Amino acid sequence: MNHFANNVFRRGTSSERTFIAVKPDGVQRGLVGEIIGRFEKRGYKLVAMKVVVPSKELAEEHYADLKTKPFFGGLVDYMTNGAAPVVAMVWEGKDVIKQGRSMIGATNPLVASPGSIRGDLCISVGRNIIHGSDSYESASKEIGLWFGKAGEIVNWTPAIWGWTHSDN
């Protein structure tokens, strides 16, 4: 059962949510703290996080849109072989889906902008360290897949929220 519907978020508001995952290469390279720090410094709120070696079924469903690509099998194996876990997270904040993708950078690190996570921290498309939802629909699907149990997403208010989320 998908409990994500109980964790309603509104597109473009301070309660918008996105799914971010540090892939096994990012975990092996010790980049989890750097990535979390970038989202926190931007003013986003971490509302769920877990360290997991995903099942083959979870990885296949997560990457279902890539099923026809020649690299699909290798990608699923890379995500599930246990060489390193995945750090799965849900971040919340104003326009976090679009801004999160901007912070991450292009899928191919060689064309990712300097200052983006991929532009600064990696050089290979096959080891691009991070995944981020690219739309409201994919965020909803991915959060439901990775955090579908009740209580896995926490609602809380950071003390700095008023300083980072005002339009005046």
| Active-site residue (options: 3, 62, 131, 165) | 131
pLDDT confidence bin for 163, thresholds 50/70/90: confident
Q: Annotation-wise, does 10 bind a ligand? A: no
Domains contained in the chain, number:
1
Q: Is 108 annotated to bind ligand?
A: no
For 100-153, how does the pLDDT look when each residue is reduced to its tens digit (9 = 90+)?
A: 999 999 999 999 999 999 999 999 999 999 999 999 999 999 999 999 988 899
Tell me, yes or no, whether 84 lies in a domain: yes
Element housing 164 (H / E): helix 161-164
Instruction: Tell me, yes or no, whether 50 lies in a domain.
Output: yes
pLDDT more than 90, % of the chain:
81
Domain of 90: which CATH number? 3.30.70.141
Q: Quick check: is 124 in a domain?
A: yes
Output the pTM of the full model.
0.90
Is 6 known to sit in a ligand binding site? no
| Residue 95, SS3 per DSSP | coil
Residue 119: which of 109, 127, 134, 107 has the closest Cα? 109
**Does the annotation list 147 as a binding residue?**
no
Return left, alpha or beta for 76; rule: phi > 0 is left, psi -120 to 50 is alpha, else beta: alpha
Enumerate residues 6+ apart whose C-beta is below 8 A from 115. none
Residue 152 forms part of a structural domain: no
- φ and ψ at 9, to 5 degrees? -135, 150
131 is catalytic: yes
Within a domain: residue 159? no
Mean pLDDT of the chain: 91
Q: What is the extent of the structural domain holding 109?
A: 4-147
DSSP 3-state percent helix, strand, coil across the chain (nearest 5): 40, 15, 45
Q: Contact, 7 vs 149, CB < 8 A? A: no
What's the average model confidence in pLDDT over 48-70?
97
